[in-house]
Structure formats: structure tokens, C-alpha cells
Amino acid sequence: MNAADVARYLKENPDFLSDHGELFAELTVPHPHGGQAISLSERQLHALRDKIRLLEGKLAELIRFGEENDEIGGKVHRMSLELLAAEDYESLRSVLFESLRSDFSVPNVALRVWNSVLTRAGEDFSPVSESVRFFAGDLRHPYCGAPGNLEVLDWFGVVAPHVRSVALVPLRRDAQVFGLLALGSEEAERFYAEMGTLYLSRIGDLVAAALRRQLG
């Protein structure tokens, strides 16, 4: 009989150990964190403690994620209230940019709007190429990653050469994209392809709704 035969026998006869409980005290196995021998019951206790520590670590991680989400949710809520209170486009733009920079620590923000009923003077309404419009129109979720589009990169002005990652958030009127909110960072890992975009999408929805109210 080899080890595989013993393991198979125990699986096929689950009552064996309960019928021979004295084995737990008589048989010994190596300590999981040392060289000395311990009983099977002690080994089981160590295994349970290891599982408890693992579960405690996962619980702490879940609590941390929950607290982070609560904090982000609070910032998005505060932004939405300020956008609702904005009485004109200039106030709306100021609130948006200040919130993204102060609350969300995004150092570089740019906005482009097209196909709106009303327009304003300024860079936000500068002409946008057809390729950028097609790119924005094809987005189903915010784009996060390297700043591959040089035209969008230029929107950040003098800091453009230092931007290493971007988040591009489409702004929609029903199914049609009418603008793009661009966030830029000098850190290559700030916005990356695998990151979650739930809150970016919600911010895009809020900004789009506020812009439609001001611009039609």
C-alpha cells in the first residue's frame, strides 16, 4: 500500500478517523512553521488559525475598499451638487475643473464640446478633428491609458509633453457624443487600461447633463 492508496482509502471511508479518534493524539506531523513534530489535532488548529488570518486579511481589504468607495462617492456627490448650483457655463466650468483638481487630485483637465446648440468663446469650443469625434463616438466606456492621440494631448497646453497617462470620458446627449472630458497625469500608472471606470462614467454623465442644461 502506498500513499495514494491510503489517501483513497480515507476518502472512501470518512468514518475511519472518527472511529479511531485516538490516532489524532498518537500520530504526529511536522510543525508547519518549524521542524518539531506535533499531533494531528495541533496541526489542524494551526491550519484553522492560518485560514482565520487569511479571512481577516480579506475582510480588512474589503473594508478598505468600501471606505475608499464611500470617499469617492462623497466627492462625486459634492461635485453633482456644485454642478447643479452653477448658474452659467463659466461657473459650471470653474466648478468642474476645481473639483477634479482639488477633490480628485487630477492636475491636468481639458474639455472639448461640439454639436451644441449654444457655443461660447474659448478653447473648450475649439474645432475638433473628425478622427477625434469618431474616436469619442466609438467609446462605450472611458478610455484609460497612454496618451496615444497627439491632438488630445495638445489640449493640455504647455504641460502636454509631461503627460504620461490620460482618462478620456465621452459626454453624451442620448446616444450621441457631443464632447470629451480629458484628464491627464504625469504618472504613467495613474490611468491604466485595466482600472475600473464606474466613477469616471458617472462623472461623465453628470458633466454631460450639466452641459446640456447650459448649452442645449
Q: Any idea what the CATH number is for the domain that residue 163 is in? A: 3.30.450.40
Cell of 201: 462614467
Cell of 43: 496541526
Domain count, the chain: 2
Q: What is the distance between the alpha carbons of residues 68 and 61, in angstroms, rounded to a whole number?
A: 11
Pick the more confident residue, 115 or 111.
Answer: 111
Backbone φ, ψ for residue 212 (5° rounding): -60, -35
The reported pLDDT for the residue numbered 168 is 97
Decide if pLDDT at 144 tops 70: yes
- Span 53-75, average pLDDT: 84
Calculate what percentage of the chain has a pLDDT beyond 90: 52
Total residues belonging to the chain: 216
The domain of 211 spans 87-215
Verify that 101 and 193 share a domain, yes or no: yes
The reported pLDDT for the residue numbered 156 is 95
Decide if pLDDT at 137 tops 70: yes
Verify that 50 and 145 share a domain, yes or no: no
**pTM assigned to the model:** 0.71
The pLDDT tens digits for 71-110 are 888 898 999 999 989 989 999 999 999 999 999 999 999 9
| Number of other CB atoms surrounding residue 186 within 10 Å | 13
Closest by CA to 198, choosing from 68, 82, 108, is 68
Verify that 70 and 151 share a domain, yes or no: no
Q: Of 39, 69, 85, which residue constitutes the final position of a domain?
A: 85
Verify that 169 and 64 share a domain, yes or no: no
